[in-house]
Structure formats: structure tokens, C-alpha cells
Structure 1
Amino acid sequence: MYKSFKVPSSEVPGYSATHRHPEYKDGTQNNKYANITTVYELFKTAETNHPKAEFLGTREFAPKTGKFGPFEWISTTDAAEITDEFGAGLDNVYAKYAPELDSFTGQQPLGIYSVNRAEWLLTELAGFRSRRYSVGVCDSAGVDCAEFIINHSGLQVIVCSLDKIPRMLDRMANTPKVKVIISMDKLDCSKPNLSTQAFTPATVDKLKSKAAALGLVLFDMSQVIQMGQSKPTQATLPKSSDYCTLCYSSGTTGAQKGVLTTHGGLIHAARSAQLTLKTENTTYLSFVPLVHCLDRYGIYTFMFGFIQIGFYSGDMNNLVDDMQTLRPTIIVAVPRLLNRIYDRIASSTIGAKGAVGFLSRMGFKSKVKRLQAGRSAKHALWDKLIFNKVANIFGGRVKLMISGAATIDPNVLTFFRTSFSCDVLQGYGQTENMGSTTLSPLGDPSTNHVGLPNPGVDVRLRSIPEMGYQVTDAPCPRGEVMVRSDSVFKGYYLEPDKTAETMDGEWLATGDVARINLDGTFTIIDRIKNIVKTAQGMWVAPERLESIYNTNPLVQTTFVHGDEHERNLIAIAVPDPVSFIPWARALVSQPKADLADLCANEKVAVTLAEQLKVHGALAGLSAQEQICAVHLEPTPFENVNIGFYTSTFKLRRRIMIVHYRKEFKATFAKLGTNDAAAVDTELFLSA
């Protein structure tokens, strides 16, 4: 059965037919929720429909014990009061210190600089009250990344957590436009959390003195709220056509670009997902960085059916405890995190030895058969014996998981569906479309695709003849993904030329390569700029290969690399210490060798490469797609202070290639020019 709706007679030379959601064949959203046109209206509607309901939750931190307590909640009514008073206070701040409008947007930007927390969302909503648009500041790629965003967006007022203030003051010479910093945390240190535990009133006094010497004004949120209380202002509510956020793209292949999205665009994106998911009364844990569009896309989608948002404690090492405390019903995550969780859970269940492993594998196979037969994965016996314990890792109430930002391995997808007995969907989108392009259908057990176009979103492919991808390819069209929708961005900030390059008329050219499958679903092959051409003339998609190799229990992360002057592919591999160290020690008979020594051992590197070849072969990789050698890196990529990762944990490939150029050269040299031997999987497995 063809699952998408193919618009009749929509093919033109070089382009595939236009595809739409089968329930919204006219390309509209049927006026559902038509009364909501801005994000601020969405919030006020939630307040009206659910007064005094628990809305924003935060875990209190106890410095003496270093532990977190239960979630404490701000109600919708209290949140509305805070945003009104804080918004009025911001009006006073802007009027006195930064009154001018941005010449490009005709509005005023409001910077937000912190990890996910209730104040992040409250600040954004308070800015919306007076037509200001949010600019999320990210430093996951290093302080230079934050400086770039602050300067490029022209920020003069920034709301941030207390721990960000010292680094901003230290580098004020590099961000001269900033005039006001507003601390989310009280400057008297009366309410401790992870951001404030290193501060005392004395150290904060030094910050105040330094800010004054630099000509900066320093407030905290409570002070600005008091301004709004003592000098209230009339709200200037945004229109659908007003900008609501300037969201910076991940910058995986080059400099970051500021993506301008309107209120109408974000509402269209959120509404399209809500029409498909039909969520009601969601409990949600926010931990994917809010500076990226994915988490806000999820939050505003679920707000249509009302959402209770618990914010993680700020420490990813404490994420499982946060989940078990909140017990969310929906989780939105990125594949890299799900892969890490999969490695831990699978190794103690279906990958375990003895009776536990035997029973887990039996239960897993039984539940997979139920899924493939179109039935629920729930199974009274196997869930009671094994899988209820797995589900309790996330609190035991998860009904839906959504993976976005990159492709997830089919084995990981199936494992979560069976283990948690819930829908696990893949979504596909880009910052330029506020994340809203396709989503896999509820109840669909198939994998290897990112689903169907969302309601109100048109999707087609454009041929890429120079790379051998044609929309006339049989049996499945292939080409660049093109998107037409009201959620498509309004342009790159200050870069009209790049905006023009990205648009093909009214269609967004995503830069992603996809295949339209025989059933009308879409599969992402890779990004055009990320595809590698080897000396054999073959185009290879490294990210797809990495998603496969990363599921091997011996590795934590891989980075696959090829070169047009080399016949073979190689990789940098970061081992998973838990499984790798005992395996490698046994291999070289060195029971006390540490991780660094094992990574430097040539026998270990060669043997791991062979293991990964077998792993890839079992996943269906061709000989040309297999890596032929690895360089072992004992330091996780995220611990290298260079900024290998974007805010959504995508690798910045260009930076990686430059940083590891010596290692790549040495690894290629070890291979020479000989073709890699084919992997005899059956022989390896029978040995």
C-alpha cells in the first residue's frame, strides 16, 4: 500500500511528484486550531483551558548532599503572571538601555544563554509579549560559538544563568554590543542550584564590580520582575508574520547561519505534528538543548493538547534519575543518546550471558513477531519477567518516543519499540523548516524510513545528476529533498544571498539526499556536502555508516572518513570502556593495561577493525562501504575542547577532518594501495 498521497500530474523534468500526508490531500491543515496564530496565543490558550495546572517543573538541588529532590511546579496561572511581569520589566530595560529596533528584522532580539530550565521558556514567552524574538546562545562548540551568535545577531540584552556571567565578562572585548545581562539566578545566591553552587555573595559582588567597570548593567530576573510590577506596561502582542526566534543552524559543514522563523511558521510546524500525534496531557522531560529547534518544536506541539514540562537537572549523568522522578509519557531525543542507552540496556538483556540473556532473547523475538504482525508489543509474560524493568528505567509510563536530528539505526529502533512496548517514531526536518517535514506513522512497525510528509507540508525530490541520483531511478526515485510549507523559514539573518541559494522558488532545498520507497515513505541517505567520493569513484554516506558501527558494543562513537585519492574507508573509533577494556586486555594478555595503552596497541586496532567489518556486513553494508582500518581514540569526542559536536550532538565533520589529519594520513599509509579483503561473515561467526 502506498502510504503517502502523490499529487496527480505534479512531476516536472528533474523533480519527482509532490507528496503529501494522505489525510490532508489538499495541502492544508483543514483549519484545525485556526484560532491560534502565534506562540504567545498558544501559551495563553493553554493557560485558559488548564488554569492552575502544573506546567513547568524543576528539581531543587541540595548543595550539602549534592542530590536533587522532587519536581516543584509553576502552574499555568503563575507562569502567565511571571511572563507578564517579566515582560513588562523587559520593556523598561529595553526602553532605557537598548531602545532601537534591529534594522534587518524591525523587531528587538532577546538573548537566552543557559541549559534547559524553566526560566529559559519563561524568558522566551516574556519576550513574545512585546514582539521580541528569542536568540538562543549555544556554547557546546566552545566559547567562540557563543561569541559568534551574540555578535552576529546584534544582541544587547541577554538573560543567562549565573555560571555564564563570568565567561561573558571575561570576553566582553569580543562582544562589545552587549549592554545588559540579566541573571536567571538571584544575585544574592539565596536559591542554590547547579549553576550557582560555585558562587557566594562575595564572588557575585566581584562580578557586579567588574560589570560596572566594563559599562555593563547587571540585574537578576527577580529585579526585572519587580520593575514590571512597579511600572507595568501595555503588552504589544505579536502577529503571525512577526519573527519569534532566530535559531542558529548546527554548522556541521561550515559557519552557522541564523534562521529566522515567524510565529506563524512555528505554529504551522507544531500544529502539523499535533494533527498526526493527537497528544493530550503530556508529561515531558526537556533535555535536548532548547537553543536548537527540536525541543521547542516538541514543547509547542504538545502544548496544543497541554503539556507538563519537567526540566532535567542540568547534568546528563543524572538523566535517568530525572526520568524516574518525573516519569514522562513522551520522550524526544537524538539518536546518539538513544544509541548510548541502547548499548547499556541491550548488554544486560539480549546481549547478556546465561539465563538472563537466553530469556531476554526469547522474549525479544516473541515481541518482535507481535509487532511485525501489526499487534501491540505488550506481552504479559515477557513484560513481567524482563521488560517492565527496562521500561522502568525511563519511569515506566512512556507511551511515545520520537527520535530526531539524525537517522537512528533500525535495530535500535526495534529494540526500544519492543522493550518499552510503545511507539518509537522517526522524524525528519531541518532548522529552516522548524523540524517539520516528515514523521513515521503511529503503529507502523517498519524501520529504515522517516515516514510521511506532515499535514500541510509538500515534499518532493530534485535530481542530482552529478552524483548519480535521479528522480527517474527505478524502482525508487532518489534526489535532494525539497520542502514547501508555511513552516519554511523567512530567510537567513543578514544573508539574503545564502537565502536565495537555499530556495528554489517557493521550495526549500534541504541539502539532504533521500529515496522515495515503494510504499511512499522517505528514507534519508545523507547530506550532499557530507557524501564522500573514494578513489574508486563510489559515493559513500559516512553518517549512515557511523549509525551502524556505533551500535557495536565495543565502541562509543565512530567517525568514518574517505578521500578521493584513497580506495578504502577508515575511521576514528572511541571505545566504550566498559566493554572494550576487558575485551582488549584479554586479546593482548595484559590484565592491567589502561585504556590509553590498549588504544595504542596495533593488534587491538586491527582486531577491532575486523570486528567492525563483521558488524557492518551483518547490517548489510557492501564491501565498498566497509571501513578497512581504525585509529583508536581514548578521549571521547565531547571531551575534546574544540567543539566537535553541534547542540544536537551531530559531528562537525570539517573540524574533525582538520583535527585528525595526521591520524588519517598515518592510517591510510598503513593500508597502502591494496584493496581490502572481503569479510567472510559466516567463517568469522563459526570460528
Structure 2
Amino acid sequence: MVTQTFKVPSSEVPGYSAIYRNSLFKDGTQGSELSHITTAYELFQHHLAIAPKAEFMGTRRFNPADGTFGEYEWLTTSDIAELVENFGSGLEHVFAKYAADAKGYGTQQPLGMYANNRYEWFVAEFGAFRSRRYTVGICDAVDVQSAEYTINQAELKVIACSIDKIPRMLDRMAGTPSVRVIISMDRLDLSRPNNLTQAFCAETAGPSLRKRAAALGITLLDMDEVLEMGRATPTVAQPPAPSDICVMCYTSGTTGVMKGVLLTHDGMINAGRSSHLSFRYTDTTYLSFIPLAHCMDRYAIYMLMHGGVRIGFITGDRTRIVEDIQVLRPTILVGFPLLLIGIYERMTAATIRAKGVVGALSRIAYRSKRQRLASKGKLDHPLWDRMLFKKVAAQLGGRIKTVISGGLDLRPEVIDFFRAALSCDVVQGYGQTETGAAGTIQRPGDYTSGHIGVPNAGSDIRLRSKPDFGYLVTDLPCPRGELMIRSPSVFAGYFEEPEKTQDAMDGEWLATGDIVQINTTGTVSFVSRMKHHVKINTGYCVSSERLESAYAQHPMVQTLFVDGQQDYDKVVAIVVPEPTEFIPWARSVANMPNASLEELCAKPEVAKELTEVLRIYSASVGLSVGEQLGAIYIEPVPFSEKKHLFTSLLKFKRQAATKHYEEQLKKLYAEVGGLY
């Protein structure tokens, strides 16, 4: 058996596993290739050198008359370089005149960034890098309080933002006293219309916003004004050092207060280059839609900039993502499981889950492609691609070569379908904000599933035993424990939170808080998050994520939220059913042949019978008695339609879910016995 990791000899110590590295980078470094690039500013200069006249950043043409979007319009790398140079010079003048006393990390000053993904974000960001400033992403996709918290904690004095953010910033200026300057990425006279400017009147937008800002003591500029400052009086660039802070990204806040993660230039470049060395893409077309306030999208872009990339930005409306993909026709798609599952559901409904001849033919074709991949390692099929899957792939532009899934495990059936339908590589990776989104990545050409790959180039991993949770590095045949990462990409610390920084580190190793196992192939499989474990009153330690992953495989379950409490000997769950399988079964159980989904979910006898079905099923997938569901509430509305249950990165917020379903959980725990 060929192992994909290198086990460093004699590296075990009590309580810890051996150190593992990518078997292609046994010395623990990334080698000398592209090692001259040490900062994001140098990466941009590298891209300018290899592709000066190539299309670099594109935005879909907007028609304000009917609110539609057309083709992508492109700026070359040289166009962006000119904007970066002028904006960077202008930004120097802005800070010198209005915010010379701005304080950040060490001797560096922060620039706030508050917008959806767009090329102006990168102009402002690389302009900031030009003078050793770092950027702080602001996100309000979940609630405005998170934006206020970021502005205040980072003490932001200058913020670049889209025009739609300006009124809400002015509305809550009393709660963000540090802000002095707002730079609109959109022209205040609205002479460059886009979908964001539709709600503003050209005759009043600039004057009224400026008047409101001035009354609050805020200087309001637009990006063109800052660019003109830079053109009129150029300044000399003061590029960052590798050890300087590049970006401060806030954690998604799934379990409480967000933390400001300080990521260095060296760390971000190391993260991006580590994946470039695995994939080695050149002339890639990429759709930027993962919020840039976090680090995942930037990590992907930095990876692709090493080899040359054209970046198309989403229109800003997330419901149009598939349409944006069809117009841009990307060659690589990077996303999170929830988004990819949504695309999977849409595609399979029209193919392998369809009724009649189309469904029957699609299932035959799908089985044939899977067999060909398993036996010959080939993604394409001369017959079925031409007859069927070429049309399916066209729904995502028809050119995708690789799908990369970040976050938690993507279900094997989703991976298998994408490989068959798109004839492309599908790989999974693992990372955290604290590692610049890097950590492990599946190798291209590895057509297995159920794991998150191997250590990134130049990164070391090891496991730490967690006996209280039942995971030991001595477990056979696969060591299990908390994943520890040692890498240049590991963060410099949490902003102004030294105690939390210390808690996150074990010497030079980042303690991820995630349980994994090292497989016999050397790949790493995600098991669960320690923060999602609970010890029930039988003494058994239950992993909510493990149970959710297991029960979600049942045909009648679309998804579920498992909750456990230490005062009870059973866990309970909120279950969202899979309608196509659930409705016929539930109608039979309730003896209601015409009942709706909502009516069936409300029937106690249906919930009781489904609980029994899942109890029997639990044994077939290796769950113990302590992991059986004691009672369930059937939720007819998918979690995805409850936006407040997710972060901007589409991560499920368990604390929010517990509060949302508080009454249902009380009833479930009363049903299993004891006090809630």
C-alpha cells in the first residue's frame, strides 16, 4: 500500500502521535520554487510580470434599465496595477491628513474593508499593502452587531466600503466612534451605475450622504477621489516585510464572540503556495464569491496567482451564483459543502432522481461512469458524456476541471456525482482562519472520498490524545486525536487577546480543537469538533457532528441538528426530512394519503415511528446504544431557509439553533425524561 504521508522517524512523545508530512515534501519545507515571493505585494508584482496584458479581474455588465446583467468586462493586470499604485498613493494622503494617529498591530495601521467581493476590494487591499498597512474585513451577513464589533475591536479609523453600506454606517456612527473616513468604492455621483446604486438618486446621493457624514464629523470620499490624490501627488512605495501583518480576519463566531486572527504576509503566501505546488494551475478562470472578509477566498486567489488567473466576481446577489458560473465558465470551483450540496440537489433532481426515461437513462449512465472511474481511473466516458453529461456540465459552464470543497466532509454521493457529471477532479481540504485556510488538501487524481487529504506542502501535523473524549494516538489501526498543525501559515495571534492566543497553542503547534484520524493510506479523516461533544449522564461522550453525519445518510433524512445535555441519558434531534422519500412513507404511517409535508411533520405518531426507524438504522452504521436518538422533532422547513442559523461562510451556528428550537427541545427532553 502506498502511503501519502511521511512519518518522521522517532517523533512520537507520550500523549502525541508521530509527526506526519506530505510524502512529496519530506523535509518539511516547500523547497526553493517561487521562494522569492514572500509577501502578498510581491505576489501581485509576480502576477504582473507573468501576465501584464492578460484579463485579470472582471465584473458583469449591469443594465440599470431592467436590472439585468450581461457579459463580464475585464481589467488587465496592468490596469489593476495602475489603480493599485494610484490608490496606494492616495491612501497615504488620506491617512496623513485624517488618521495619522491610527493605531493597529505594532507599527502598522489597519484599513477596514466592508463590501461584497469586487475588484475594488483588491485595488484597496493591495494599495494598503503598498504602504505596510493591513486590511480588516467587516462582515454583516448575519447581523449588524458583528460589523460594529469588528470596527470597534480593531479601532478602525478609515474604511473602504460599497455605497450601500454607507447609510447604515452613518446610522450607527454613535456606536463606532473610532471611524473618521469612509471611502466609497462606488462613485458618489452614481456615474458608474451598478446594482448597488439602483436604490440611490443621482441628484441627491452624493450631496445628501456627504452632508450627513459631515454633520457626524466623518470625511466621505469615493475611490475616484482617492485615486486622483495619488495621481496628483505620487508617493514612494514602502512594501511590507514577510513578518508584517497582511490581513486580520475574524472567526465566524459559530460558538460565541468573534476573534480577530492576525495573519502575516509570510503565512498567507505560504498557505497559497502550498496548494499551488499541489495543483500547479496556470491561466485559470475563477469565480470569487466566498466572502473576502474571511480568508478562504483570498487563500484560493493567492494559490492561483502563482500561476496566472482571471478572476470574475459575483454580481452580489447570491441567488445568481449559478448564473454567474454559466456566464464566466470557470475552470475551478471552490466552495463549501452547503453550497455544493445545493448545486448537487438541483442537478440530481433533473437527472438521476428524475422520473421516467430521463431518470432511468441517467442512472444507467451514472453507474457506468462510476464503474469506469473505479476500474480505469478515467473521469471521461466517450458515450455518456456526449449523450448526457456534457449537457449537465454546461449548467456550470462546461469547463470545470477541479472542484475544491472546504469546511466539513462533503458526502461521498455528492463527490461521486460531481466527478461523473462534470468529468472533473473533486478534492476536499481542511483549514482554519488561524492557518490562513490551509492545513490539509486531497491530492489531484485521488478519486477516493471520506477524507480531507494530506498535510499541505511545508506543513507538519500530529495528533494529541484526548482520553476524556475516547480518542487516543495509540488507537489501532488508525491513530485518533486532536489535530495539531505546525506551519509558517499559522497565525501570529488573536488581536489584543494574548490569553486566548496562548490557549490555542501547544508550544509551536496550533491546537485545532478538531478530532481526526490518520488512515492506513496516510490520508486524514475528520471525525468531529471537540466543542460539539457532550457527556451525557451515562458518562458516554457524544459527538453531535458524528451523529448528524451518520443519520443524514438515511434516505428519509435531508439534514438534522443533534443536541445532548449532561442531565439526560439520550440525545434528541431536530430532523429535516427528505420529502421524496419521507412523504409516501409518512402518509402510510399516518393513514393520510393526501396529507401535506407540514401536516405529516406535525403528527406525533409519525415522529415516534421515524425515531424507531432511525434507532434500527443506527445499529447498521455502527452507532452505539448511547448514540441512539431518544426523541425527534420533524422540521418541514429546511435549515438553509433560516439565515440566522448560519454564518457568512455557511457554517451552522449551534448556539443559535439551540435558542431557535428552545421550546421544541424542552418538549423532547420532557419526552425522554428529566428536567431540561
Residue of structure 2 in register with 1:186 after alignment: 187
Amino acid aligned to 1:284: Y
1:564 Cα deviation after fit: 2.1
Structure 2: distance between partners of 1:614 and 1:81 = 65
Distance 1:229 1:367, change over 3 A: same
The gaps in structure 1 that reach 5 residues or longer are: 674-687
SS at match of 1:535: coil
SS at match of 2:304: helix
Residue of structure 2 in register with 1:335 after alignment: 337
1:228 Cα deviation after fit: 1.1
User: Does the Cα contact within 8 Å between 1:471 and 1:478 map onto a contact in 2?
Assistant: yes
Matches within 5 A, 1:484-523: 484-523=486-525
Structure 2: distance between partners of 1:197 and 1:388 = 38
Residue of structure 1 in register with 2:290 after alignment: 288
Structure 1: distance between partners of 2:638 and 2:493 = 36
Structure 2: distance between partners of 1:232 and 1:560 = 58
SS at match of 1:65: coil
Residue of structure 2 in register with 1:127 after alignment: 128
SS at match of 2:256: coil
SS at match of 2:486: strand
Distance 1:155 1:554, change over 3 A: farther
Quick check: 431-440 or 192-201, which moved more? 192-201
Distance 1:558 1:520, change over 3 A: same
1:254 Cα deviation after fit: 2.1
SS at match of 1:373: helix
User: Does the Cα contact within 8 Å between 2:439 and 2:485 map onto a contact in 1?
Assistant: yes
Residue of structure 1 in register with 2:238 after alignment: 236
Amino acid aligned to 2:150: I
Residue of structure 1 in register with 2:368 after alignment: 366
Residue of structure 2 in register with 1:476 after alignment: 478
1:6 Cα deviation after fit: 0.4
Distance 1:424 1:333, change over 3 A: same
Distance 1:57 1:610, change over 3 A: farther
SS at match of 1:310: strand
Structure 2: distance between partners of 1:174 and 1:81 = 36
Residue of structure 1 in register with 2:8 after alignment: 7
SS at match of 1:42: helix
1:197 correspondence with 2:198: yes
Structure 1: distance between partners of 2:95 and 2:572 = 53
Structure 2: distance between partners of 1:273 and 1:345 = 29
Matches within 5 A, 1:3-82: 3-82=4-83
Quick check: 549-558 or 339-348, which moved more? 549-558
Distance 1:533 1:83, change over 3 A: same
Matches within 5 A, 1:400-419: 400-419=402-421
1:599 Cα deviation after fit: 4.4
Residue of structure 2 in register with 1:177 after alignment: 178
User: Does the Cα contact within 8 Å between 1:283 and 1:307 map onto a contact in 2?
Assistant: yes
Out of 525, 530, 534, the position equivalent to 1:532 is 534
User: Does the Cα contact within 8 Å between 1:469 and 1:478 map onto a contact in 2?
Assistant: yes
1:485-522 per-position Cα deviation (integer Å, ceiling 9, x unaligned):
11111111001111111111111111111111111111
SS at match of 1:178: coil
Distance 1:304 1:96, change over 3 A: same
Out of 226, 229, 240, the position equivalent to 1:227 is 229
Residue of structure 2 in register with 1:262 after alignment: 264
1:75 Cα deviation after fit: 0.7
User: Does the Cα contact within 8 Å between 1:570 and 1:667 map onto a contact in 2?
Assistant: yes
User: Does the Cα contact within 8 Å between 2:111 and 2:135 map onto a contact in 1?
Assistant: yes
User: Does the Cα contact within 8 Å between 2:440 and 2:455 map onto a contact in 1?
Assistant: yes
Out of 407, 425, 444, the position equivalent to 1:442 is 444
Structure 1: distance between partners of 2:615 and 2:368 = 29
Quick check: 232-241 or 345-354, which moved more? 345-354
User: Does the Cα contact within 8 Å between 1:54 and 1:308 map onto a contact in 2?
Assistant: yes
SS at match of 1:74: strand
Distance 1:99 1:368, change over 3 A: same
User: Does the Cα contact within 8 Å between 1:281 and 1:306 map onto a contact in 2?
Assistant: yes
Residue of structure 2 in register with 1:84 after alignment: 85
Out of 560, 563, 568, the position equivalent to 1:561 is 563
Amino acid aligned to 2:91: L
Amino acid aligned to 1:93: V
Matches within 5 A, 1:317-356: 317-356=319-358
SS at match of 1:196: helix
1:476 Cα deviation after fit: 1.1
The gaps in structure 2 that reach 5 residues or longer are: none
Residue of structure 2 in register with 1:299 after alignment: 301
Amino acid aligned to 1:381: L
1:391 Cα deviation after fit: 1.1
Structure 1: distance between partners of 2:665 and 2:232 = 63
1:207 Cα deviation after fit: 2.4
Structure 1: distance between partners of 2:281 and 2:627 = 40
SS at match of 1:283: strand
Distance 1:12 1:319, change over 3 A: same
Distance 1:483 1:348, change over 3 A: same
Residue of structure 2 in register with 1:275 after alignment: 277
Quick check: 619-628 or 533-542, which moved more? 619-628
Amino acid aligned to 1:39: A
Distance 1:345 1:550, change over 3 A: farther
1:136-184 per-position Cα deviation (integer Å, ceiling 9, x unaligned):
1011220011111111111111111111111111111111101111111
User: Does the Cα contact within 8 Å between 1:260 and 1:490 map onto a contact in 2?
Assistant: yes
Matches within 5 A, 1:458-473: 458-473=460-475
Structure 2: distance between partners of 1:640 and 1:360 = 33
Amino acid aligned to 2:409: T
Amino acid aligned to 1:323: I
Structure 1: distance between partners of 2:602 and 2:438 = 44
Residue of structure 1 in register with 2:100 after alignment: 99
User: Does the Cα contact within 8 Å between 2:188 and 2:205 map onto a contact in 1?
Assistant: no
Out of 227, 244, 247, the position equivalent to 1:245 is 247
Residue of structure 2 in register with 1:428 after alignment: 430
Residue of structure 2 in register with 1:310 after alignment: 312
1:459 Cα deviation after fit: 0.4
Matches within 5 A, 1:534-683: 534-547=536-549, 549=551, 557-574=559-576, 599-603=601-605, 605-606=607-608, 624-634=626-636, 637=639, 640=642, 643-672=644-673
Structure 2: distance between partners of 1:407 and 1:496 = 32
User: Does the Cα contact within 8 Å between 2:189 and 2:205 map onto a contact in 1?
Assistant: no
User: Does the Cα contact within 8 Å between 1:264 and 1:487 map onto a contact in 2?
Assistant: yes
User: Does the Cα contact within 8 Å between 1:291 and 1:647 map onto a contact in 2?
Assistant: no
User: Does the Cα contact within 8 Å between 1:339 and 1:551 map onto a contact in 2?
Assistant: no
Structure 1: distance between partners of 2:160 and 2:579 = 39
SS at match of 2:520: coil
TM-score by length of 2: 0.94
1:52 Cα deviation after fit: 1.4
Structure 2: distance between partners of 1:353 and 1:623 = 38
User: Does the Cα contact within 8 Å between 1:4 and 1:22 map onto a contact in 2?
Assistant: yes
Structure 2: distance between partners of 1:619 and 1:361 = 25
1:618 Cα deviation after fit: 6.8
1:534 Cα deviation after fit: 2.9
Amino acid aligned to 2:103: D
1:283-330 per-position Cα deviation (integer Å, ceiling 9, x unaligned):
001111111111110000011011110011111211111111000000
1:105 Cα deviation after fit: 2.6
Structure 1: distance between partners of 2:139 and 2:618 = 35
User: Does the Cα contact within 8 Å between 2:287 and 2:313 map onto a contact in 1?
Assistant: yes
User: Does the Cα contact within 8 Å between 1:182 and 1:220 map onto a contact in 2?
Assistant: yes
1:343-386 per-position Cα deviation (integer Å, ceiling 9, x unaligned):
22223222223222222222222222222235112111121222
Structure 1: distance between partners of 2:668 and 2:428 = 35
